[in-house]
Amino acid sequence: MKKRDYKKEFSTLIDKFAYRYSRWQVWNDFLSLSALSLANVMPGPENGEREEQYLSIMDSYQKEDQEAFPKMLGLVVLALEENPEQDFLGSLYHYLDLQQEQKGQFFTPYHICECMSELQFTGDEKAEKLEEKGCISVNDPACGAGAMLIAFANVAKRHGINYQKHVLFVAQDIDRTAAMMCYIQMSLLGCPAIVVIGDSLAKPFPHPDNEVWCTLFYHLNQWRFTTG
């Protein structure tokens, strides 16, 4: 049975907007709509504001165009379900030729991230810390679409660590587009994650000027990380 080409299907959906909107606008609106939907799964004081943002973005599109956005998110869900060991949105970003070379953006290939993550598990330090505190943490101050963190999650799983319960992921990026990609993938993969939009050098997390997004699994496991 031939595998579905999720990138091609996604590209086809975006191209339906081509005569009215730029790919860049549709891409960023897709990220915002998806992130807002995922964030509002958990009740909180920001739900109302996020719902207003969601409706404002949707209202800027015609009805037939609005129907494409949940289909796009569905393709991302299917791609990650079929193969969780990948940076799907990062590779899709390049596939759609949206990378901003003038900003020096280059997303590290997944296999390199996997190798670097595997190096973090040499020795018994991770196992000892997990046994002592009940959790371990990983931080990427220039997270991009989250490839390094996705690789760490998968490597942790191979080493017998349930990352959905015992790993705290902290991600930060100065670029909002990149951070939103990371947040969506961390959410869909069930990672307890804090994703921060802000300058890691000038305003490292936690900083009052940071914009912070927390995944559902972070909220579900917050007690574990605050008491560990």
pTM for the full predicted model: 0.93
Q: Is the pLDDT of residue 96 over 80?
A: yes
Tell me the per-residue pLDDT of 181-215, one tens digit each, with 9 for 90 and over: 999 999 999 999 999 999 999 988 888 889 999 99
Q: What percent of the chain has pLDDT over 70?
A: 93
Q: Is the pLDDT of residue 104 over 80?
A: no
C-beta pairs of 204-210 under 8 Å, 24+ apart in sequence = 204/141, 204/172, 205/170, 205/172, 210/172
Q: Is the pLDDT of residue 46 over 70?
A: yes
